Amino acid sequence: MSETKVEGLSDLRGEIDRIDSEMHELLMRRGDIIDRLIAVKARQGGGSAFRPGREADMMREIASRHHGRLPLDTVESIWRVIISTFTYVQSNYSVHADLSGGDSAMRDSARFHFGFTVPLVGHPTPGAVITAVGASGRKGAENGGGDLGMIRAGFHAEDARWWERLAAADAPKIIARLPFVERPDHPAGTPVFIISNPLAEAAAKDVAVFSAQGAGPAPDVSGWTALGCDTLGQSEGEEFSLLLSAPGDWDAERLRRLPGGGALERIAWIGSHAKRFEIQ
């Protein structure tokens, strides 16, 4: 009668070593595919290196299927760094971060979502970030439009109407809102917008973002939340200025038809992003 072998520590460590080797091999194979991807894009006339819609789909699938002892925080960060680093390998870019609200939280967010390979450049105001991203321009036909910017979502005392700088047609636009996987106690939970020079393709369009202004005090828009429209930033003076999010298929006229929307004299679409994946 044969005895059942009892696995020991050396057996388990050997299995871990084999898995680690396989993971490394797969990452190197992924790098080889990026080389082929660059060649295909060159033959087809180029294209955006940034793919916000595809990234959102990947993160949604990963978060949905994850289970087991490994924390989702770790899995999310690993995949974010893989995506961001391979995008950098495909077309070098920097991330310009608004540090006006504090250095620590923004740097934590940048490193969680972009890792350490992608260069991080700090700026004192959101406006400085927008200027830097706009000036980065296109670095080649295969590039996604230059660098990325990272701005805390909402109001900034130092640059209270920063979203107005995104209104011009050729100005940078919002392409993502991070963290994508939203949950309590997220290790990089500071809500941030990612901006880039306008993308001709690959945008995620679940949520539209608008800049809106008008004379006098801001209208009461508290009832808009039930319709899927939220106020993310507000500044008042002789003229009010609002940063609004709405369903992705909304336009300026839809906003004006809301109760109190007639007070919105100027409305500009300033980007869109994927709906975040919420975990309770």
pLDDT level of residue 144 (50, 70, 90 thresholds): very low
Write down the pLDDT at residue 240: 93
Examine the domain organization and report whether 64 and 140 are in the same domain.
yes
Tell me which DSSP letter residue 271 carries.
E
Segment 42-62, tens digit of pLDDT: 776 666 678 888 889 999 999
Examine the domain organization and report whether 228 and 247 are in the same domain.
yes
* Least reliable range by pLDDT among 167-176, 200-209, 232-241: 200-209
pLDDT level of residue 268 (50, 70, 90 thresholds): very high
User: HSE of 241 in the Cβ direction (CA atoms, 13 Å)?
Assistant: 17
Q: Is residue 32 part of a domain?
A: no
Q: How far apart are CA 274 and CA 181, in angstroms?
A: 11
Examine the domain organization and report whether 226 and 95 are in the same domain.
no
Q: How far is CA 221 from the centre of its chain?
A: 26
pLDDT at 138 over 60: no
pLDDT at 251 over 70: yes
Say if residues 210 and 268 touch (Cβ distance below 8 Å): yes
Q: How far apart are CA 136 and CA 171, in angstroms?
A: 12
Examine the domain organization and report whether 86 and 194 are in the same domain.
yes
Write down the pLDDT at residue 45: 61
User: HSE of 270 in the Cβ direction (CA atoms, 13 Å)?
Assistant: 26
Last residue of a domain, one of 203, 225, 243: 203
Confidence (pTM): 0.90
User: Quick one: what percent of the chain has pLDDT higher than 90?
Assistant: 64
Measured CA angle at 128 (ends 95, 242), to 5 deg:
100
Q: Is residue 4 part of a domain?
A: no
Write down the pLDDT at residue 159: 79
Domain that holds residue 142: 48-203
Write down the pLDDT at residue 134: 93
Q: Is residue 9 part of a domain?
A: no
Segment 1-45, tens digit of pLDDT: 456 677 889 989 999 999 999 999 999 999 999 888 888 877 766
For residue 231, give the 3-state DSSP assignment. Answer: strand
